Chain A
């Protein structure tokens, strides 16, 4: 494979900077969350540093993978979509058969820190697959085309729902919606979809399709005081942790919530509480600015993409990130119900980090190989 060095002239370094900055902040937060690092002596606690170091290793692995993807033309990757698509669905099936269960969901292949979460990789592969088939469509608004898209989307979604992992499927739904939106989905479908969604919720609610804990989470989300010590407890603690970050509390942080035993999964799903409790509003806004920079520049890249495939892939990834940020940070500040969705580049977890880095790599890839002439 030939690599054109000149291509790197077109690499969006501001996105790269944002990603690296977020990843460093995330790793430090994981260190705080697991007590691997702290402001009290001993400042570095080696016995508690396993998670912290694992994340650093994953980051190195992910960077290598990202770099590798960068040098392959994304259209080449797109060409392998059938193999990737079939492969990921087999993995998802394997998870259901031989996967290991954590936190009430069978989502893992392998054990311990070496385990992988195929549903994470399924997100990016589904984006590539859908982008590829949508590229070949003159108009996506025909029943046949929409049906095809739905078919390709529903297979992994169905398999993930069996784990069950509703949270990841929510990302799927929003990601696909974002891609269809940019691909020119007729607004009547969007309105129709909204109506369908509302009636779907009503059906879900009234016909015992949702697990009781899911129903409870939603109820508690709308009225946290229903159960301050049960499901609403985490929501309350998260809000308390974020709130106590005030404007900037890096050195005066009470350290009480995210650093102790209070917030469960602080280094994964609730990583933002760890971050916000210390860095306060100042840090949170800087973090959001970094994310916004990725999305803003990403939209620019999508606009200047040399082909529809590139546009669709970029939008798939951007939709995914946007929704993950909204969902993850939103649940910590009482905007969204509590779900187990990771914050891109921040949350602990190899699969998630790898997927996020590969995804951002694809955006940069599209950007590097964009049309030379703007219209």
Chain B
């Protein structure tokens, strides 16, 4: 029976092995991969289909539609229910390409994800990876090749392993010159023979072969597997690019993968009709944002783009693979309720269809449906005609400055203009030039045209980042809300009102202007025309009219930094105690500037003094101390400088016993406390130079606040929210951010001075407004940029702020032209805006008729 017993046990062992295998397999499937399988399972069964709600429209104040939705035909591919067999996908793609080409829609094919370009004019292939050096470029290329399992002739020179090892070593080494040298050495060793276009070409043909679009005969010649692809290389490139993008989207089994957008109706129809030959390919209609005014208004409208913060938008229920969202301007801020405090959402609420699908992904039945809620329609404060006039006027003014129509030639490539209602803070026009056409982004979230990408500076973030002296015009940058620069003399009305209110000057106070203010030793504040001598005896209105630096330096001196800063704070132009920047309250993203405070100046002086103490005390004569940043030694001395309390005992305790060192520190403490640097700062700021930088919106707001009697209104762009049927859902009321008590006579004085600028002989902007039917007030400003900027061929900022009508102000306009040379050159922009604003006034009719005539004859 021994044998039998063995067999029993053997059987039991086999059974245990079988059960053990099953259980270990269950561990793997249920415990280790259970979550993945659960997710897969849940994506089957009931499949929610999201229906994007119609996006809310954006209107101007007169109901003109600035951002609307249009229907767009797209061609898509879906894996679900279709064979992933290579030849079937190829057949579909090739047939679809035929239809697309026949209808001339080949440029509508989405090529985004494919990193190889072909320049037909040069007959050259290239990669479109962006890299700061050849090494980084090759790294990306080799990564791409590795992911696609492709090797080229170049890989005999450099194999992936070598590259990877080098990169690993590089990452472990410290950044700096040694790294740069290592890269240089690597480039010399391996990359001298690297020919990008040859390599790209080889990779392209290998991919084409891999995807079975072509094959090679025995002698290595290309054999086209699809006759139509042999006709032109472009078609083959599109076919390979599409196959590549389908491959990268393989995991999205249920999703529609877009292969062409914005195709003609005929293309869409042909695709639909020939669906038998085009397995997996269908045409669909999708809503696309459309901006009828093109570039006009792009500065505040913003644009639509791909979702970059996937986590945020996914949690808000967005379909991140498909939906576009507003990425700047009102499109961004009003996108959803998370992005703003006004309870506005352009996106609306998407509808959901819950459908049961069979195993082929076909819809069997609809089990539930939640209707989409359309987005809010938003009526803005903008007058689109004024907006258009502002943009056109800026472009024309800049062109005139560039070609020397005003006399001197300057580079003048960018500028901004803001028109604001002084009684509400409503923004009537907000222009930033150069601008962009948001329609280029509306289809896919980024422009397809390489020319446009280049023009909009979308391909060289590094270059923009390194542009320290801001020499490159940026179409995507909002110069009106984000460009804070020195306002120059356009800040003088502020100094005037502060001086008048504080009583350091009156309307009749006169000063003898000899051209250079030098009442503090070592300080020289020059007039812009000091070479011609001084302006003589002048009062505040004359000083505004002729833009006397002398006079306002004197006002600054009399006010003192503390008082000056107090007034800046009242106008909301200084940072708060926490260093938070001021804000105009405008809805869209702003990057406001500020007016410096005594604390900031003192801190700067202390920092500079601290730097020289650290340097000096290294010397043997001064004790040879090393004071590192952040140590108790550093902090104690720095506090001493800031507080102005020189305390020898503290220095002794810290171990600074050297007499020379002590004296040096004592001297610096006194210097920071007493030295006139603070005075100089305020003198400069009183004439709009130095530590004062403001955006055009801030300028418009401060001038409005003076003119309306001291009420600081929130600058705003949204006037009303409308229901889909056009009725008013919500009215946005003007919001008061602050109130300042201003004496009417002081306001009148400032207005009088500004009136002289545009109306009287000798006024800096008289030439522009001398014949204007409506009386206005204004102030020019010509602000010098920093030394670094000037060394980099930057020129003066040309500012002009103004208001109209002079007798009973309604609106203000603030304009700036970068590298514009002289403030007076910007004045014409304001006038063009007034032309539109006042176009219905009786006194304007003759003037406008004449203007129309001269425009026609030109």
Contacts and interface: CB of A to CB of B under 8 A. Distances in A.
Interface of A: 178, 181-182, 184, 228-229, 233, 237, 239-247, 249, 254-257, 260-262, 276-277, 280-281, 284-285, 288, 291-292, 295-296, 299, 302-303, 315, 318-319, 322, 325-326, 329-330, 333-335, 375
A243 B30 contact: yes
Contacts of B23: 284-285, 288
Contact of A333 (B5, B22, B42, B83): B22
B8 A243 contact: no
Given A243-B34, A299-B11, A322-B15, A281 B26 contact: yes
Nearest to A243: B37
Given A229-B360, A243-B34, A288-B22, A296 B42 contact: no
Contacts of A242: 26, 29-30, 37
A333 B37 contact: no
A334 B25 contact: yes
Contacts of B169: none
B38 A243 contact: yes
Main secondary structure of the interface of B (DSSP, over half): helix
Given A178-B11, A254-B45, A280-B30, A244 B25 contact: no
Given A261-B364, A326-B18, 17 more contacts: A182-B7, A240-B37, A240-B41, A243-B29, A246-B35, A247-B31, A254-B38, A254-B41, A256-B45, A257-B45, A261-B356, A280-B34, A284-B26, A285-B26, A292-B15, A326-B22, A333-B22
A245 B41 CA distance: 10
Interface in B1-57: 1, 3-5, 7-8, 10-12, 14-15, 18-19, 21-23, 25-27, 29-31, 33-38, 40-42, 44-46
A335 B15 CA distance: 15
Main secondary structure of the interface of A (DSSP, over half): helix
A155 B11 CA distance: 27
Size range of the chain B interface in the assembly: 35 or more
A262 B45 contact: yes
B8 A244 contact: no
Contacts of A292: 15, 19
Contact of A181 (B7, B29, B30, B34): B7
A51 to B, nearest CB: 21
A180 to B, nearest CB: 10
A233 B359 contact: yes
A260 B1 CA distance: 54
Contact of A296 (B10, B12, B21): B12
A335 B21 contact: yes
25 contacts: A182-B4, A182-B11, A184-B3, A229-B83, A229-B359, A240-B37, A243-B29, A243-B34, A243-B37, A243-B41, A247-B31, A256-B46, A257-B44, A261-B356, A276-B30, A281-B26, A281-B30, A284-B30, A285-B23, A288-B22, A292-B15, A299-B12, A303-B5, A325-B22, A335-B21
B359 A281 contact: no
A257 B30 contact: no
B29 to A, nearest CB: 4
Nearest to B1: A375
Contacts of B4: 182, 184
Contacts of B343: none
Contacts of B10: 181
Interface in B354-396: 356, 358-360, 364
A239 B29 contact: yes
Given A240-B37, A243-B37, A281-B31, A184 B26 contact: no
A245 B46 contact: no
Interface string B77-103: 000010110000000000000000000
Nearest to B45: A256
A236 B360 CA distance: 14
B400 to A, nearest CB: 67
Contacts of B35: 246
A94 to B, nearest CB: 35
A14 to B, nearest CB: 16
B3 A244 contact: no
Given A257-B45, A335-B25, A246 B8 contact: no
A178 B10 CA distance: 11
Contacts of B27: 281
**Residue among B1, B4, B12, B18 with the highest chain A CB neighbour number at 10 A:** B18
Nearest to A295: B15
Contacts of B356: 260-261
Given A182-B4, A229-B359, A335-B25, A246 B30 contact: yes
Contacts of A318: 11, 15
A228 B10 CA distance: 39
B30 A245 contact: yes
Nearest to B37: A243
Contacts of A325: 18, 22
Nearest to B30: A281
Contacts of A245: 30, 34
Nearest to B5: A303
Contacts of A315: 11
A181 B23 CA distance: 25
Given A184-B4, A229-B359, A245-B30, A335 B22 contact: yes
B38 A246 contact: yes
Contacts of A334: 25, 29
A359 B459 CA distance: 76
B34 A246 contact: yes
Contacts of A291: 19
Contact of B33 (A243, A296, A322, A326): A243
Contacts of B18: 322, 325-326
A276 B10 CA distance: 30
B356 to A, nearest CB: 7
Nearest to B25: A333
B34 to A, nearest CB: 4
A284 to B, nearest CB: 5
A260 B15 contact: no
Given A246-B30, A261-B358, A335-B22, A256 B11 contact: no
A146 to B, nearest CB: 17
Nearest to B43: A256
A284 B360 CA distance: 30
A244 B12 contact: no
Contacts of B3: 184
Contact of B41 (A256, A261, A285): A256
Contacts of A329: 22
Contacts of B25: 333-335
A89 to B, nearest CB: 29
A319 B14 CA distance: 10
Contacts of A299: 8, 11-12, 15
A175 to B, nearest CB: 13
A244 B359 CA distance: 18
A242 B35 CA distance: 11
A329 B18 CA distance: 11
Contacts of A285: 23, 26
Contacts of A256: 41-42, 44-46
Given A245-B30, A280-B30, A288-B23, A239 B37 contact: yes
Contacts of A229: 81, 83, 359-360
A247 B37 contact: no
Nearest to A332: B29
A288 B44 contact: no
Interface in B260-277: none
A288 B12 contact: no
A330 to B, nearest CB: 7
Contacts of B360: 229
Contacts of A262: 44-45, 359
B37 A244 contact: yes
A255 B10 CA distance: 41
A241 B41 CA distance: 7
Contact of B8 (A239, A247, A260, A302): A302
Contacts of B33: 243
Interface in B282-300: none
